[in-house]
C-alpha cells in the first residue's frame, strides 16, 4: 500500500534527535578517558612534589649537619682552649712543685751536712775524753806504784808531766785546727790561705 503523504520535515527532526542521542551516548562513552586524565594529573602533581620534597629534605638535612659541624667545631675549639689553660696551669703547678722540691732537697742536703759535722765534732770531743781518761788512768797507775814504793816521787812527777804535756799539746793542736783550718761546712775539708797569683 502506498502511503498517501510523508511529512519530510518530521523525518528530518526525528533523524536529528536520534543523531543527538547517538552523539550523547558516544560522549558518555568518553567518561573513562576523563578519569584517566584525572589520574594522570594526580600522578603528575605527586611526581613534581615528590622531587621538590626530596630536594628540600636532602638540603635541610645537610644544613642541619653543617650547623652541627660548626657547633661541634666551636665546642672543640673552646674545649681545646680550656684544655690548654688547664695544661698550662697544671704545668705551672708542676714547675712550682719542682722548685719547692728542689728547695726542700737543698734543705735536706744542708741538714745532712749539719748532722754530719755535729757527729764528727762529737767524735772529736770523744777523742779528747779518751785522751784525758788515758792520762788519768796512767796517773792513777803511777800514783799507785808510787804509794807502794815501786816508783819514786820524782819519776812519777816526770812521767805524769810528760804525758800530760803531750796530751795538752794534742788538745791544743786539735782545737786550733778546728777553729782555724777546718771548714765550717764539711768536717773533713781544710781551708787554706788564698795562694798568690790565683783566683782561688
80 contributes a contact to another protein by CB under 8 A? yes
Only one residue has cell 775524753, namely: 129
Which residue, 37 or 180, has its beta carbon nearer to another protein?
Answer: 37
Say how far apart CA 40 and CA 30 lie, in whole Å: 16
C-alpha distance from residue 168 to each of 9, 160, 162 (Å) = 181, 12, 10
152 contributes a contact to another protein by CB under 8 A? no
Q: 10 Å Cβ neighbour count for 95?
A: 10
- Interaction with another protein in 39-68: which residues (CB under 8 A)? 40-42, 44-45, 48-49, 52-53, 55-57, 59-60, 62-64, 66-67
168 contributes a contact to another protein by CB under 8 A? no
Question: Minimum Å distance from CB 161 to another protein?
Answer: 15
Question: Minimum Å distance from CB 38 to another protein?
Answer: 7
Nearest to 163 by CA among 181, 184, 142: 142
Question: Minimum Å distance from CB 141 to another protein?
Answer: 9
Only one of the segments 9-17, 143-151, 166-174, 188-196 lies at the binding site for another protein (rule: CB under 8 A); that segment is 143-151
75 contributes a contact to another protein by CB under 8 A? yes
C-alpha distance from residue 45 to each of 31, 39, 41, 59, 129 (Å) = 22, 10, 6, 21, 122
Which one among 140, 161, 172, 173 touches another protein, defined by CB under 8 A? 140
Which residue, 132 or 170, has its beta carbon nearer to another protein?
Answer: 132
Question: Minimum Å distance from CB 82 to another protein?
Answer: 8
Q: 10 Å Cβ neighbour count for 80?
A: 10
Question: Minimum Å distance from CB 102 to another protein?
Answer: 7
Say how far apart CA 142 and CA 153 lie, in whole Å: 9
The number of residues that bind another protein (CB under 8 A) is 71
First-to-last alpha carbon distance for the chain, in angstroms, is 172
Amino acid at each position: 500500500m502506498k502511503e498517501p503523504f510523508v511529512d519530510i520535515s518530521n523525518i528530518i527532526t526525528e533523524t536529528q534527535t536520534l543523531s543527538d542521542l547517538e552523539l550523547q551516548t558516544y560522549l558518555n562513552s568518553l567518561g573513562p578517558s576523563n578519569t584517566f586524565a584525572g589520574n594522570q594529573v594526580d600522578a603528575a602533581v605527586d611526581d613534581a612534589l615528590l622531587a621538590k620534597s626530596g630536594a628540600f629534605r636532602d638540603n635541610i638535612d645537610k644544613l642541619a649537619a653543617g650547623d652541627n659541624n660548626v657547633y661541634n667545631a666551636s665546642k672543640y675549639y673552646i674545649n681545646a682552649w680550656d684544655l690548654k689553660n688547664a695544661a698550662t696551669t697544671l704545668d705551672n703547678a708542676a714547675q712550682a712543685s719542682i722548685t719547692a722540691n728542689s728547695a726542700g732537697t737543698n734543705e735536706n742536703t744542708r741538714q745532712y751536712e749539719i748532722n754530719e759535722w755535729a757527729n764528727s765534732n762529737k767524735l772529736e770531743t770523744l777523742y779528747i775524753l779518751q785522751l784525758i781518761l788515758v792520762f788519768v788512768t796512767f796517773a792513777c797507775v803511777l800514783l799507785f806504784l808510787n804509794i807502794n814504793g815501786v816508783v819514786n816521787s820524782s819519776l812519777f812527777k816526770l812521767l805524769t808531766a810528760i804525758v800530760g804535756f803531750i796530751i795538752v799539746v794534742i788538745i791544743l793542736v786539735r782545737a786550733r785546727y778546728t777553729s782555724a783550718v777546718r771548714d765550717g761546712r764539711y768536717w773533713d775539708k781544710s781551708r787554706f790561705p788564698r795562694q798568690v797569683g790565683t783566683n782561688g
